[in-house]
Amino acid sequence: MGLELYLDLLSQPCRAVYIFAKKNGIPFELRTVELLKGQHLSDAFAQVNPLRKVPALKDGDFTLAESVAILLYLSRKYEAPDHWYPQDLQARAHVDEYLAWQHTALRSACTRAMWQKMMLPVFLGQPVPPETLACTLAELDKCLQLLEDKFLKDKDFLAGPRISVADLVAITELMHPVSAGCPVFESRPKLAAWRQRVEAAVGEDLFWEAHNAIMKAKDLPPADTAVKEKLKPLVQVFLH
Amino acid sequence: METPCSYKYCCPLTLACPTTMGLELYLDLLSQPCRAVYIFAKKNGIPFELRALNLLKGENRNKDFLPTDGLQRLPVLKDGDFFLGESVAILIYLSIKYQTAAHWYPPDLQTRVRIHEYLGWHADHIRGTFGVSLWAQVLAPYIGIQVPEEKMKRNRTAVDCALQHLEDKFLRDKAFLISQQVTLADLMALEELMQIVALGQDLFAGRPRLAAWHQRVEAFLGADLCQEAHSAISNIQEQATNKKLPDLPSEVYSYMLFRISSIP
């Protein structure tokens, strides 16, 4: 059995891993784990990732979780072109810096914005207080400003003149609130231009293939009672 | 200036000062990630100028103290013209540039990515969670605020859960979190746990495996270095009680209100 990637493309980090693997022609078996059906909670999946989260990777006997770890593993093992995760000390440091910052900053804001605006009220039928949503969107706005001013600045891509895993992680995060109808790129021409460059570098077909599921999430019929009962306790964390 | 600068703290001439051409680390040892960077640099004999900043005085927001155009958060590394934020990025940079002993960030791909796997989980479950104690026990009361018990209960559960996972999913039967030797992961974890331990709570009671890990990490780093690095966080409660903390500038005060209200 070759490389297996356990993914749900509804998840931002899964999309980053998917795009990276596909773009670099890395051969893998896609194992879809449907989060909305709670498949990540199964005992079978716990064999792959005891922490029961996607993305997860299985390469022979070696299992690995966490998107940043997976992206680094794939980039080194399959010898992806250097620009994805440069060997140059300072260029690489810029990638590491972005990947570290985004985890506790932008990712949190994007996840909560999407859940509070769309998934909780529409899919799970749980209304979210307007002031909670307003607060989250304000925080998202702040993160977007930091992304532009402190990371992107006047560069073409986040870590330098060429696309890297930092851009993949960032763009897949930003598409989360986009899918919920939050204005992300509308009044930010610099960020919109960067997005165009990233899509072009990835390839439009692959980009939209990876984002098909999340863009359709707003059209999901409301969850049935069984799903609601399973998921509601787990997603309350997105309200804080 | 011709003679080595005798300023202990950052001076406004930083950018022009000839003594600052080497590595500089901008740190406040109240902060967990700052301590991880400090301990790593000291333990590995990496020569650097310490730029000790005071977060409570808001010195990180002042370009005279922190001359970066990046995020105004600590730690920050300055290497010539190169600025770098984020403790993980800094630790990796230092380990590669100064070719520290391989065990910190092993070249073996599978071991190396396990460190990143740990750090991903750490970002979600440790970072943020273990820092709440300082806010709730010291900083919030200092400005006359009480963190609601409901939030404290959630935090205690999160801490317990995280410690359980640390033992069961990462440490298991190994000497250290990732392998049989200390890695960057152990350092990052240790300093987060110390944020609570140094304030007087024994996190290791009833957790003998984690207690043994803690002893091993501190033994490896050395008691003197640990004591030095943990001095600020160990003394802050007393300083607050004796009203010896600095006056808080208004933007620091506003930021503190925001941080306290953001506690989940």
What are the structure tokens assigned to B189, written together? Answer: 């974890």
Are A104 and B82 a contacting pair at CB < 8 A?
no
pLDDT value of position B101 = 98
The distance of A12 to chain B (nearest Cα, Å) reads 14
Q: What is the pLDDT of residues A112-129, one digit of tens each?
A: 999 999 999 999 999 999
pLDDT value of position A230 = 85
Instruction: Please give the Cα distance from B41 to B225 (Å, whole number).
Output: 11
The ipTM assigned to this model is 0.95
Instruction: Please give the Cα distance from B258 to B264 (Å, whole number).
Output: 12
Are A100 and B86 a contacting pair at CB < 8 A?
yes
Are A76 and B117 a contacting pair at CB < 8 A?
no
pLDDT band at B21 (very low <50, low <70, confident <90, very high): low
| CA B213 to chain CA centroid, nearest Å | 19
Nearest to A103 among B117, B123, B169 (CB): B123
**pLDDT-flagged residues of chain A (< 70):** none
In sequence order, which residues have a C-beta less than 8 Å from that of residue A143 and are 6 or more positions away?
A105, A106, A109, A110
Contacts of B173-178 with C-beta under 8 Å, sequence gap 24+, read: B175/B213, B175/B216, B176/B213, B176/B216, B176/B217, B177/B118, B177/B213, B178/B111, B178/B114, B178/B115, B178/B118
Nearest to A50 among B89, B92, B169 (CB): B169
Q: What is the pLDDT of residues B170-226, one digit of tens each?
A: 999 999 999 999 999 999 999 999 999 999 999 999 999 999 999 999 999 999 999
pLDDT value of position A231 = 86
Nearest CA in chain A to B162: A51
Chain B residues within an 8 Å CB radius of A146: 71
Chain A residues within an 8 Å CB radius of B119: 66, 68-69, 100
The distance of B131 to chain A (nearest Cα, Å) reads 13
Chain B residues within an 8 Å CB radius of A236: none
Across B50-62, average pLDDT: 95
